[in-house]
């Protein structure tokens, strides 16, 4: 599952070795901690997502729920910081690609 927040992009998949945990992954250092402040992250320089953390399923669900409850904007693209040009441009590329599949 991809989670695209205005200040963080996460990929969340199952932990192959522990059904009670999920593997939360990020491409940008600090993105995991923006959502999971107590996460113990590690780096895997050979993986497609360099930054990673194993987090209990219930904790992931709680954190994502909090993110939903705390939405305070009426336009997602406008909520992405203009100071974060790399993220803003990447998100616009995703928006554009997905807009193309809209029928």
| Strand ordering across the sheet containing 2-5 | 2-5, 8-14, 21-26, 51-56, 42-43
**Band of residue 82 on the pLDDT scale cut at 50, 70, 90:** confident
* pLDDT tens for each residue of 24-80: 999 999 999 999 999 999 999 999 999 999 999 999 999 999 999 999 999 999 999
CA dist list (Å): 99 to 17, 22, 42: 37, 30, 34
pTM above 0.75, yes or no: yes
Helix (H, G, I), strand (E, B) or coil at 13: strand
What gap in Å lies between CA 80 and CA 9, rounded to an integer?
12
């Amino acid at each position: 599952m991809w989670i695209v927040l205005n200040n963080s992009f996460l990929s969340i998949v199952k932990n192959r070795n522990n059904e009670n945990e999920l593997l939360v992954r990020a491409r940008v250092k600090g993105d995991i901690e923006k959502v999971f402040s107590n996460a113990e992250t590690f780096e895997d320089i050979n993986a497609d997502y360099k930054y990673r953390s194993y987090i209990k399923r219930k904790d992931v669900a709680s954190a994502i729920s909090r993110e939903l409850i705390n939405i305070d904007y009426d336009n997602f693209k406008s909520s992405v910081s203009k100071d974060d040009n790399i993220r803003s441009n990447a998100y616009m590329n995703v928006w554009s690609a997905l807009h193309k599949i809209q029928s």
